[in-house]
Structure 1
Amino acid sequence: MIVISNPTAVANEINTIHSLFENGMELFHVRKPDFSEEEMKTFVTAIGLEYRNQLVLHSYHHLAKEFGINRIHFSSTNRPDNFQKTEGFTVSTSTHSIEEFNELSEDIDYAFLSPVFKSISKENYKPNVNWSTEIKKRTHFKTKLIGLGGIQAENIHQAFQFGFDDVTLLGTIWNSNNPIENFKSCQQIVLSF
């Protein structure tokens, strides 16, 4: 199960990230679109060295080698055309339709497809398709299909029934008074699939 950082700073953020890792978070996507390069360096440095191989950089990809990070993410707007993977890197991207997902390079390891449900963190961001029929149009099976958007304990089973390979948490973690409890609830459901 993947967790994406809140785009802006959150109280006790680094402590929460460490607790998430201690409770079994597999990957943590560092998405801080307004961070300067220096702010990004400070943020990544604050996360324990033992978790570096589980971090995914959304920006300042050139910092990956410097920090010993081997995972990078491209948004749908900054994904290179005719993408070819760099040796030793795991690469992910974002998509917003099954058609866009189906056209991805086989060099992309996994891709977010959103929104699956009404977003918890983004105002008025909700699906405009029926995922139970849309995912049947999937023709690309080399890249893992990861559901994002409105994912919480109450609907994870439905996301897997739609046909997603895994799910990503954002709002259910960062827009909550109980981020670790929410993570554990979601994790138990994911582990049952």
Structure 2
Amino acid sequence: MQLLVISPPHPVPHETALVSQLLAAGLARFHVRKPGWEQGEMAAYVADIPTRYRSRLVLHSHHALVAELGLGGAHLTAAGRAAKARPTLAPGQTLSTSFHTLAEIRQHRRRYDYVFLSPIFDSLSKEQYAAAFDLAAVAATLRKLRQRAGYAPQVLALGGIEAHRLTTVQQVGFGGAAVLGAVWQSPDPVAAFRALQSIIG
């Protein structure tokens, strides 16, 4: 089971230093989601992270930088999907997206290397963003997808992921979880990540 971390939408003090520490602590993928940022701001953010970690960065915008800077991948937003703005990626660079219904997972998952499904639990970072799924129905859907030939991408849980919910996430059959609030709302984001990582091994 893999654990991903998503950036806070607004800058936090010493953010890129904390991101570097998260990656040094074993974080496999860090998603940079900064709505409204210009390409120059995104490039400067990436430049603050040591080169050896950049292959683990996934951008939610300004996807041209992914190929240009040799980053890990691109994440398509709903608006990007609607605009059919599929970025050009090099071998090994991943393409991911976020879905909010099981129907979307069933219909479109094969176009991506992995996908997020949200909100699984009440969001920690977005007010009034409540859990939207029956977990038994999610488990049944994921089980069917695993049994079908040609199933490739992992489905990761997003929304309200906290330490005490990781066991449930595993039991439902998710391939992993993406975390935002549980890390960035902590006074020590790196310690919070380490605690989550220790649970999933």
Letter in 2 for 1:36: E
The 3-state SS of whatever aligns with 2:16 is: helix
**In the alignment, does 2:103 pair up with 1:93?**
no
1:26 pairs with 2:36:
no
Q: CA deviation at 1:108?
A: 0.6
Separation of aligned partners in 2, 1:82 and 1:104: 15
Q: Does the residue aligned with 2:170 lie in a helix, a strand or coil?
A: helix
Query: Taking structure 2 as the reference length, what is the TM-score of the superposition?
Result: 0.88
Provide the residue aligned with 1:112 in structure 2: 116
Alignment partners' CA distance in 1, 2:191 and 2:89: 37
Whether 2:51 is the aligned partner of 1:49: answer yes
Q: Is the CA contact 2:121–2:132 (under 8 Å) kept in the aligned structure 1?
A: no
Q: Is the helix fraction higher in 1 or 2?
A: 2
- In structure 2, distance between residues paired with 1:87 and 1:51: 17
Return the alpha-carbon distance in structure 1 between the equivalents of residues 80 and 94 of structure 2.
16
Work out the CA distance in 2 between the residues paired with 1:185 and 1:62.
Answer: 34
**Which residue of the other structure, out of 169, 175, 180, is the alignment partner of 2:185?**
175
Deviation at 1:61, TM superposition (A): 0.5
Which of 12, 15, 18 matches 1:13? Answer: 15
The whole-number CA distance in structure 2 between the counterparts of 1:34 and 1:85 is: 22
Q: Secondary structure at the match of 2:80?
A: coil
* Cα deviation digits, residues 88-109 of structure 1 (max 9, x gap): 1311111011111111152310
- Decide whether aligned partners of structure 1 residues 27 and 82 sit closer, same or farther in structure 2, where only a CA change above 3 A counts: closer
Identity rate, percent = 34
1:132 touches 1:163 (CA, 8 Å); kept in 2? no
User: Partner letter of residue 9 of structure 2?
Assistant: P
Residues 1:99 and 1:63: Cα distance change in structure 2 (over 3 Å):
same
Matches within 5 A, 1:140-155: 140=145, 141-155=151-165
Q: Deviations over 1:47-89 (max 9, x none)?
A: 1111111000110011112211141110123126596984513
Choose which of 2, 8, 13 in structure 1 pairs with 2:4: 2
1:41 partner letter? A
Structure 1: runs of 5 or more not aligned: none
Structure 1 counterpart SS, 2:140? helix
Return the alpha-carbon distance in structure 2 between the equivalents of residues 83 and 39 of structure 1.
22
Say whether the 8 Å CA contact 2:67–2:90 is kept in structure 1: no
CA root-mean-square deviation: 1.9
